[in-house]
Amino acid sequence: MTIFLIGHDFKYETEATVKLFFPAMRFAFCTEDAPCAGDFIRTVFTEDRILVETSLSGVFRRQEVPLSPDEDKHAAEHALCRTLYAHLTEATGVTPPWGMLTGIRPVRMLTAAVEQGSTLEQAAAHMQQTYLVSEKKLALAKAAVAPAEEATPEQTASEEVVEEAAPSEAAEPEETPVTVPTVEVVQPEEKSAVPAWLKEVWQQLFPAETPDDSEPASSAEVLPTSEAALPPEETETEPETEGAAE
């Protein structure tokens, strides 16, 4: 489909309005008036009028509305989109539920109007008159904005305080439980008493010394000492015979 833009440069706004009715179609744009064999949409701006012509599936339509010379650019742009929207609604039989709204959130638009001092009903009436939003979608947008508008100043202030306090509370790190290490105490082994048989051997070898029960002598200490304490072996001598050899 070819879209003619004659006498204006509202390409983006014109294309966005046409896409409400032909969302999957590709367009070719032309800024000079010329004959066109296929489907086309022609938008023309003059000093005192806006002209919209369409040829869709062989059916030609023409619509013309007056344009005030005092209109600023924004008002002229809106007048073109509104004329094109009405023309295509009649030509296609399609009525977009959100009207002429493109690229903007209706709830945000209503909220901005309420914040600037309008009531919700006033903002909704302006949206419907300006952008031709359906009653069903308008009620949906109002329902989304109504809870915020009905909030009392005290509730709003308390919510702001909570929102301000929340980051600081969230910033505090959680306390990590400290695990006390388990220390295993190993009791020293009790010294065993000196066996009775060792005492007897010791007393036989060293009558004057008695080993202390608390500190028993080791076998290494006992054996060398016992060996040293043994009496030397007697040297066998030949017994003397009575009577020398005569």
Task: Kindly tell me if the per-residue pLDDT of 237 is higher than 60.
Answer: no
Can you give the pLDDT at residue 69? 80
Top-confidence residue, 84 or 184: 84
Q: CA nearest 63: which of 84, 35, 33, 92?
A: 84
- Report which DSSP code applies to 57: T
Ramachandran angles phi, psi of 240, nearest 5°: -75, 140
Alpha helix locations (H) across 20-134? 73-92, 106-115, 120-131
Top-confidence residue, 225 or 111: 111
- Asked if 82 and 129 touch (Cβ cutoff 8 Å), the reply is no
Can you give the pLDDT at residue 163? 44
Q: CA nearest 108: which of 137, 139, 156, 145?
A: 145
> Cα(114)–Cα(108) distance, rounded to whole angstroms?
10
Can you give the pLDDT at residue 20? 96
Can you give the pLDDT at residue 87? 96
Confidence (pTM): 0.59
Query: In this structure, how many other beta carbons lie within 10 angstroms of the beta carbon of residue 18?
Result: 21
- Asked if 62 and 53 touch (Cβ cutoff 8 Å), the reply is yes
Task: Kindly tell me if the per-residue pLDDT of 83 is higher than 70.
Answer: yes
Would you call 38 exposed, middle or buried from its count of C-beta atoms within 10 A (0-12, 13-18, 19+)? exposed
H or E element at residue 30: strand 28-30
47 half-sphere exposure, CB direction, 13 A CA radius: 0
Tens digit of each residue's pLDDT (9 = 90 or more) over 150-199: 544 444 444 444 344 344 444 455 555 555 555 555 555 555 566 777 77
Top-confidence residue, 152 or 12: 12
Top-confidence residue, 172 or 79: 79
> Cα(13)–Cα(81) distance, rounded to whole angstroms?
7
